[in-house]
């Protein structure tokens, strides 16, 4: 049975832990606010570009473009898995990794070879531990996530589909074994502080959006110098911006998950402190009662 000294030490330790989790919750809340603002700023531009591309494609069905060309049968694909660089965020990373294995199994059962691209340190550490072959790794950049870093990553990934990487005005062919028929992304889409959803999306070839906006449906764009040239310039911009949005969504979801996890840990620590304090008071009260009984018994014995 624990002594009073042991209980006091444990209560002090749990109080220190509670103070730490409260501080981490506050930090995550501040980071979440910034990430949430960036997500809400990026979404409209990405969605508008997608609608414009879909509008152009719908009204010019014969328009050919590499980024829209889908193979009759996908034989080899990239699966980009986005996790966090840090832990202490509940089931955020473990659920993403579990979802990856589910989708990988589905693709392989349909005869598709899967190449794994890992974004985030926690995911890579797990895949490395399990002996998974990872063809490309990007980690330790979420603390300073910006468009330039996202652009660099997206260009590398896009080159697996196009078969070449652009260096200024030059196009450099990539290694043959890195070429794929399609690219899929697994990430957490941010909805609110309490809700994020794991998403499995096809990044390339581009899937035209369904235009539900009546105003967008009737729009007629005028192109100068040509629709083909405008199309070729808009698509890379759209893909890089879309990928940046995906990274922001994942980062916001991670901060929200960590904030909720630290809030739960703080409340659990408070409950534990209350329970330990109650136990300590019971032991102390029992000791006091025992001493009173001993004094009373001794007094009565002396009277006799």
Question: pLDDT by residue (tens digit) across 4-13?
Answer: 888 899 999 9
- Could you list the residue range(s) of the whole structural domain that residue 178 is in? 29-254
227 and 273 share one domain: no
Is 197 a member of any domain?
Answer: yes
In a domain, 24, yes or no: no
Is residue 11 located within the same domain as residue 104? no
Query: Which pLDDT score is estimated for 259?
Result: 95
- Is 247 within the bounds of a domain? yes
Last residue of a domain, one of 214, 232, 254: 254
Residue 51's pLDDT is 81
- Whether residues 130 and 273 share a domain: the answer is no
Same domain, 272 and 185: no
| CA pair distance 202, 182, nearest whole angstrom | 7
Nearest C-alpha neighbor of 233 from the set 44, 39, 52, 40: 52
Which pLDDT does position 186 carry in this prediction? 97
Closest of 152, 156, 112, 158 to residue 136, by C-alpha = 156
Residue 147 lies in a domain: yes
Same domain, 250 and 283: no
Residue 281: give its domain's CATH number.
1.10.287.80
Dihedral of CA atoms 158, 99, 248, 239 in degrees, nearest 10, equals 20
Q: Is residue 188 a part of any domain in this protein?
A: yes
> Domain ends where: 217, 236, 254?
254
Please indicate, yes or no, whether residues 60 and 165 belong to a single structural domain of this protein: yes
Measured in whole angstroms, the distance separating CA 293 from the mean position of its chain's CA atoms is 62
Tell me how many domains the chain contains: 2
Quick one: 10 and 36 in the same domain? no
Q: Is residue 241 domain-shared with residue 272, that is, in the same domain? A: no
CATH number (domain holding residue 69): 3.40.1380.10
The pLDDT score that the predictor gives to residue 297 is 79
Calpha distance 189→247 (Å, rounded)? 9
Residues 10 and 147 grouped into a single domain: no
| Residues 232, 249 share a domain | yes
pLDDT of residue 209: 67
Is 210 in the same domain as 289?
no
User: Cα–Cα distances in Å, from 164 out to 69, 154, 209?
Assistant: 15, 13, 26
Same domain, 69 and 187: yes
pLDDT of residue 214: 54
The pLDDT, as a whole number, for residue 165 is 80
Task: Enumerate residue ranges in the chain where pLDDT < 70.
Answer: 1, 168-169, 209-221, 304
Dihedrals phi, psi of 119, to nearest 5 degrees: -115, 120
Q: Is 60 inside any structural domain?
A: yes
pLDDT at residue 221, as a whole number: 66
């Amino acid at each position: 049975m624990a002594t009073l000294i042991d209980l006091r030490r444990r209560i002090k330790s749990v109080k220190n832990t509670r103070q730490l989790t409260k501080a981490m919750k506050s930090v995550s809340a501040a980071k979440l606010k910034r990430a949430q603002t960036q997500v809400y700023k990026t979404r409209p531009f990405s969605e508008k570009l997608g609608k414009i591309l879909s509008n152009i494609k719908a009204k010019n069905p014969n328009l050919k473009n590499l980024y829209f060309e889908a193979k009759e049968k996908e034989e080899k694909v990239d699966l980009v898995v986005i996790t966090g660089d840090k832990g202490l965020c509940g089931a955020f990373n473990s659920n993403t990794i579990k979802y990856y294995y589910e989708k990988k199994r589905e693709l392989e059962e349909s005869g598709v070879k899967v190449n794994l691209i890992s974004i985030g340190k926690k995911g890579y550490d797990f895949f490395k531990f399990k002996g998974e072959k990872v063809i490309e790794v990007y980690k330790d950049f979420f603390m300073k996530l910006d468009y330039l870093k996202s652009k660099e990553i997206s260009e590398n990934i896009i080159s697996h589909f196009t078969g070449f990487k652009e260096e200024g005005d030059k196009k450099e062919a990539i290694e043959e074994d890195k070429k794929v028929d399609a690219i899929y992304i697994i990430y957490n889409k941010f909805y609110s502080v309490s809700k994020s959803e794991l998403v499995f999306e096809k990044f390339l070839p581009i899937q035209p959006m369904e235009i539900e906006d009546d105003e967008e449906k009737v729009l007629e764009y005028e192109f100068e110098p040509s629709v083909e040239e405008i199309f070729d310039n808009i698509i890379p911009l759209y893909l890089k911006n879309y990928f940046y949005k995906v990274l922001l969504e994942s980062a916001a979801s991670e901060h929200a998950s960590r904030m909720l996890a630290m809030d739960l840990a703080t409340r659990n620590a408070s409950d534990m402190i209350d329970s330990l304090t109650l136990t300590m008071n019971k032991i102390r009260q029992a000791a006091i009662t025992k001493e009173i009984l001993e004094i009373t018994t001794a007094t009565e014995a002396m009277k006799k």
